[in-house]
Chains A and B, each alone.
Chain A
Amino acid sequence: MSLKIITNRCKGCGICAAFCPKQVLAVNEVEKIEAVAEENCIKCGQCEMRCPDYAIFVEK
């Protein structure tokens, strides 16, 4: 597990999903971010850098 998502901080803005180069993330039906294809994650850190809510971290 390389992505750590803190669900109660996430507001589902979708910034991380939009900037993810590998389409790993998606906003689910309750408007929280979810890793839908984590095996494709290249740990680039775009999501962590752009998240305004400190809700997603990449563990290296």
Chain B
Amino acid sequence: MSMEQLIDKYFRPGRLPHIWCPGCGNGIVTGAIVKAIDKLALEKDSVAVISGIGCSSRASGYLDFNTVHSAHGRALPVATGVKLADPSLNVVVVTGDGDATAIGGNHLIHAARRNIDMTVVLYNNSIYGMTGGQYSPMTPYGSKATTAPYATIEHDFDIAELAKAAGATFVARATTFHTQLLVDLIAKGIQHKGFSIIEAVSACPISFGRQNKLGGPADMMKWQRDHAVMLPAWNKLTEEQRSGKFPIGLLYEVTDRKEYTEAYDELIARAQGGNK
């Protein structure tokens, strides 16, 4: 299916153009989600897309699946409810760096800890874009923001390490430049039984790029190309060579940790003495 047919098939008719700014990477990430779902040949009704609040979270309104546009930071609790109500659904959570790691930070670590089967696509544009460029917990250290005119003195989260430590069983990262990798990782994340998180490094040229003089949209994508390193190559780099760069690819995957809805069903059966 051509990309144009994919858009016609999986987007709600009449909703485009979307509200994202010129050059915003969110459209590329949303396109990648659609391509991944198409690659897996999932029925539209078998997919639930849950989002919080923020630029990225607008995506659920454009997509023609079962969708919920929930409250700020609360996409994961809503998704947990949806998944428990119908464990056969493929639950995809669309969230941003601020939504997932600040307002919804607690929900993120606990959903990861439970290893509930869902796929979180975290659009990391390094900033709160919609509200005017305030720094988020994932704004790189030393960057400027409207709330940090002298540059932020707070260190940023490495979401991959955080999710891994919290108990996520599938952790990956790609960028909007590495489109095909992003599609493949989202598809793998959906197939993975357990809590999957894919960080999609996305450019915000208007609210982040301008304040930090990072150039135009294409320059920010070239920055991704020049600073992201595929995991096998990353593993061979020295600490010095790694400075300023970040790894992409499938960073972590384990399959021996019990999935939550499965454990929940077993618990019900046990509580009912096998008479479910």
Contacts and interface: CB of A to CB of B under 8 A. Distances in A.
Interface of A: 4, 8-9, 11-15, 17-19, 31, 48-55, 57, 59-60
A24 to B, nearest CB: 15
A54 B23 contact: no
A4 B25 CA distance: 21
Given A52-B24, A53-B17, A53-B27, A15 B4 contact: no
B34 to A, nearest CB: 10
Given A13-B217, A19-B218, A4 B4 contact: yes
Interface string B20-37: 111111111001000000
Contacts, number: 68
22 contacts: A9-B16, A9-B17, A11-B17, A11-B23, A12-B22, A13-B23, A13-B205, A13-B217, A14-B23, A15-B218, A15-B221, A17-B218, A18-B216, A49-B179, A49-B180, A51-B28, A52-B24, A52-B27, A52-B176, A54-B3, A54-B4, A54-B11
A14 B25 contact: no
CB-CB nearest 3 A-B residue pairs = A52-B27, A18-B218, A13-B23
Given A13-B23, A53-B16, A60-B2, 8 more contacts: A11-B17, A14-B216, A14-B218, A18-B222, A52-B27, A53-B18, A54-B16, A54-B31
B111 to A, nearest CB: 28
Nearest to B205: A13
A25 B222 CA distance: 18
B7 interface: yes
A49 B21 CA distance: 18
A15 B217 contact: yes
Contact of A54 (B7, B179, B205): B7
